[in-house]
Amino acid sequence: MITLNAGSSSLKFALFDIQDDGIAETFRGQVEGLHTDAAEFSVKAAPGSDMPSFAPRPTVSASHVAALHEVLDFVHHHGGERKIVGVGHRIVHGGTKFTKPLRVDEDALLELRTLIPLAPLHQTHNIRCILAARKVFPAAVQVACFDTAFHRSHTWENDTFGLPPEYYDAGVRRYGFHGLSYEHLVDELRGFAPEIAEGRVIMAHLGNGASMCAMKEGRSVSSTMSFTPLDGLAMGTRCGQIDAGVVLHLLTERRMSVDAVTQLLHRGSGLKGMSGFSHDVRDLEKTDTPGARGALTYFVHRARYEIGALTAVLGGLDALVFSGGIGEHAADLRARICAGFDWLGLSLDAQRNARHERLLSADTSRVKIFVVAANEEKTIAEHTLSFLPPRQESRLPPHERSDVGERS
């Protein structure tokens, strides 16, 4: 069983074996840096796996389409004697209709295409993954898992904009994203801190795409992302929160085209746009320039701003959970985000933070601070498994490969 996760600048994948007691990861990989001159392909084998790991290497797969075919070729040739019986797909937008995973058929594909205008830079890639996977693995069950589904528990006031109600009824509302990641984080938190997981928790998924989610009893109450994945925190290349009047100004006064504004807000802003050279926090932390310092300062400011807002929505805070590439590895940014929250009962332990321990909060901190590794792939795989017939065998003679199709 494989999972495919197409982001705005990356394509992640993972292979899982089906066992009597569930699933076991064999390897995972990604093509990152898409749409740049520095795209890289890497694979990491799971502990105890019979697969070798491959360090990041340059790849010619600079587009999502090319990366998709490279990934599917890799899975087919390196999967050993495994028959792919299921393919799980991360679908960014489920609109108001799709509130749980579903098996993909022609009717579902038609519905997914109608949602492209709500996530034009993501949904098209997600659908292409389904179409390509069906050609390469025609006998496999294709399952769509939605990033927006986790947030459908929001109340009206947390989902609406200050617009006339007919817009809300037509689907112009706050959807929230990164739901598959948050679903995994809740499951993990319930495993080692069940009482806290049922309390008032802010999850911070900080990566190239970044958002925060306020939760009560393990359910989403509010999210920093809204109608699209642009809103809220500053991100790798996305602007985050912005006055809608700025967009109107760019269109009317600066005479920018819609495509140019779209490119600016999605790919030319955030850490990369503010720094002038990179979206990678590691690069910015090593570079002492006004642009790099300003980008990181603004990232921290927006994170702190949203923690305060989400705490107000929750009526207090019991735990803060960091995840994602930045949240899991950028100790200095975690410290800067948590600084000055003593009034909230939130205090970071510097040594634990430097060692990247799971528990980061000081012993005197009323609010617990944790780091939990993101693993959307596991959540997608578990959902996909639930759609497969019982007792599927994951090691069978290799099936006849279907042609990948035209690479367009």
Residue 392 lies in a domain: no
Answer whether residue 21 is part of any domain: yes
Q: Does 313 lie in the same domain as 283? A: yes
Looking at the predicted structure, is the pLDDT value of residue 402 above 70?
no
Round to whole Å and give the CA distance between 356 and 29.
Answer: 23
Average pLDDT of the segment spanning 345-362? 98
- Catalytic: which of 17, 147, 231, 280? 147
pLDDT per position as a tens digit, 205-234: 999 999 999 999 999 999 999 999 999 999
Q: Are residues 202 and 327 in the same domain?
A: yes
Q: Is residue 231 part of a domain?
A: yes
Going by pLDDT thresholds of 50, 70 and 90, the confidence category of residue 47 is confident
* Residue 339 and residue 322 share a domain: yes
Q: Could you tell me if 356 and 243 lie in one domain?
A: yes
State pLDDT tens for residues 169-192.
999 999 999 999 999 999 999 999
Token reading at 372: 């939990």
Claim to verify: residue 256 and residue 131 sit in the same structural domain = no
Averaged pLDDT for residues 103-131: 90
| 301 and 250 within one domain | yes
Whether residues 72 and 92 share a domain: the answer is yes
For residue 164, is it within any domain? no
Question: Which domain range does residue 16 map to?
Answer: 2-146+377-385
pLDDT above 70: residue 118? yes
How many other β-carbons are positioned within 10 Å of the β-carbon of residue 339?
13
* Residue 182 domain flag: no
Which CATH number does the domain housing residue 80 bear?
3.30.420.40
Q: Is 55 helix (H, G, I), strand (E, B) or coil?
A: strand
Question: With bands split at pLDDT 50, 70 and 90, how would you rate the model's confidence at 71?
Answer: confident
Angstrom distance (rounded) from CA 188 to CA 193: 8
408 exposure class (CB count in 10 Å sphere: 0-12, 13-18, 19+): exposed
Q: Do residues 240 and 354 share a domain? A: yes
Alpha-carbon distances of 148 from 93, 101, 200, 211, rounded to whole Å: 6, 11, 21, 13
Distance CA(92)–CA(6), nearest Å, equals 9
Asked about 147 being catalytic, the answer comes back as yes
pLDDT (mean) for 97-107: 95
132 and 211: one domain?
A: no
* 200 & 265 share domain: yes
Domains in the chain: how many in total?
Answer: 2
| Residue 162 covered by a domain | no
Q: How far apart are CA 175 and CA 94, in angstroms?
A: 9
**What's the mean per-residue pLDDT of the chain?**
91
Q: Are residues 254 and 129 in the same domain?
A: no
- Whether the pLDDT of residue 34 is over 70: the answer is yes
Q: Judge whether 405 lies within some domain.
A: no
Strand 219-223 and strand 210-216: the pairing is: antiparallel
234 shares a domain with 120: no
In-domain check, residue 153: no
* pTM of the predicted protein model: 0.91
